[in-house]
Amino acid sequence: MAKIVKNYPSGLRLIVDEMQNFKSVSTAITIMVGSSDERPNEHGLSHFCEHMLFKGTKKRSGTEIINQLSFLGVDYNAWTGENCTCYHTKGIADNVETTVEILADMYFNLKFNEDDFYKEGDVIVQEIAMHEDNPRSVLFELANSTFFYGTKYQHPIAGTAKDVKSFQPKDVYNYIKKHYIASKTVLSFAGDITLEKAEKLVEKYFTPNFTEFTKPQVLEITDEVLLPKSKEVKKNKKTEQQHVMLSFPVCNQFGHERYALRFLNSIFSGDMSSRLFMNVRERLGLVYTIHGGMELTDIGGYYYIFFSCTPQNTKKVIETIKIEIDKLLKNGITEDELEKTKNQKQTDLLFETENGEAVNSINVDQLIKFNKILPFEERLKIYKDMKVADIDGVARKYLDMNKVIISVVGK
């Protein structure tokens, strides 16, 4: 598997991952702009622009874009995050040029009518309402906004209904013109494609349309760590269960401890064999689901434990989590747990190499965050070299109930 990164004079970056024996090509245009880049009067605008790129160009209507991609059997979608907006497709190699031409048309030649703009605004309001009806989505938003209060990550990616209703067509055009530029853009391919083919597509559909020439924009790698005060926040909602998240401040996305934290999450709260699942659900029967994860940014992040249960069980679940944390801090993890997690992590890495979309996503994520792509062998070695002391170290450093933020959604 050959990962090739090429920098163009315009600032555009190209990633090509040639994957032998693949019949498909995954393509992605990733622009380094998301909700964290928005000014107060722009909250939700990155996400709105993502929607509008599918609504028409100077040569195609929105319906024609969708119909042409569908006719070719191409899977297509887009997403907006805190730092990036991504348009991605997957299709057979024979159709990759047509797909790239359509994506380039959307990127460079946005044009829509006002009726479509206001209708899409209504659609996004419905999307926001849909998430408001999902207590888990509300919980994650509450936990995130509480942890990152006062920072660029505080507001929701889609904005609020009020935000969306305030936008005008010119806001989308101006935002695209400002942010959809070569120095913020990464074009990536993974699958049945060669570097030569990818370069020809870039030189045909992208480089002639860029008029400014500058260096690619890269994130500054820092040691910054956000440490909000411990608190408990609650949002009342008519639900049968309370949905609860415990958020522990940890390192930022650049910290090497993130690898040991991934092991800790797997062992303590990651899956059906984790300590919390086995004790809180299997032994005590207090919940149906309990699991953990991480949310890391350039200014800090948190490791979270999520569960949902009927209100009378909430206090008992939190007490049980605290007991399990105390056991972990006192006795550490076992060699068997380490070996099991090593096997899981190495298997996950191998599985990723069999998925072109996953490969594309990982390559772009690493290039944008670290300005380089860590070779598969090096990532594998990090997991192979993990030690019990590494995991015990991050557990003792970060699992402090005196620093936790508890977020609750429900009755």
Three-state secondary structure readout of 173-209? HHHHHHHCCHHHEEEEEEECCCHHHHHHHHHHHCHHH
CATH of the domain at 393: 3.30.830.10
User: Does one domain contain both 142 and 277?
Assistant: no
Q: Is residue 217 part of a domain?
A: no
Question: φ, ψ for residue 39 (rounded to 5)?
Answer: -80, 165
Q: In this predicted structure, what is the pLDDT of residue 220?
A: 87
Q: How much is the pTM? A: 0.95
Q: How far is CA 168 from CA 52, 157, 284, in A?
A: 12, 18, 54
Question: φ, ψ for residue 156 (rounded to 5)?
Answer: -70, 150
Which of residues 175, 209, 243 is at a domain's end? 209
CB-CB contact of 112 with 52 (8 Å): yes
Per-residue pLDDT of the chain (411 residues; tens, 9 = 90+): 568 999 999 999 999 999 988 999 999 999 999 999 999 999 999 999 999 999 999 999 999 999 999 999 999 999 999 999 999 999 999 999 999 999 999 999 999 999 999 999 999 999 999 999 999 999 999 999 999 999 999 999 999 999 999 999 999 999 999 999 999 999 999 999 999 999 999 999 999 999 888 999 988 899 999 999 999 999 999 999 999 999 999 999 999 999 999 999 999 999 899 999 999 999 999 999 999 999 999 999 999 999 999 999 999 999 999 999 999 999 999 999 999 999 999 999 999 999 999 999 999 999 999 999 999 999 999 999 999 999 999 999 999 999 999 999 998
3-class DSSP state of 386: coil
User: Does one domain contain both 173 and 240?
Assistant: no
User: Does one domain contain both 167 and 97?
Assistant: yes
3-class DSSP state of 299: coil
Q: Is residue 218 part of a domain?
A: no
Specify the residue for token string 């990164």: 5
3-class DSSP state of 61: strand
Q: In this predicted structure, what is the pLDDT of residue 1?
A: 53
CB-CB contact of 349 with 376 (8 Å): yes
Domain range enclosing 98: 2-209
Edge-to-edge strand ranges of the sheet holding 13-18: 2-7, 13-18, 185-191, 24-31, 85-92, 75-80
* Strands annotated E in 8-101: 13-18, 24-31, 75-80, 85-92
Q: Rounded distance, CA 155 to CA 224, Å?
A: 20
User: Does one domain contain both 158 and 19?
Assistant: yes
Q: Rounded distance, CA 315 to CA 321, Å?
A: 10
Q: Is residue 406 part of a domain?
A: yes
- Cβ neighbours around 212 below 10 Å, total: 10
User: Does one domain contain both 328 and 194?
Assistant: no
Total domains in the chain come to: 2
Interior angle at CA 383, CA 377 and CA 384, nearest 5: 80
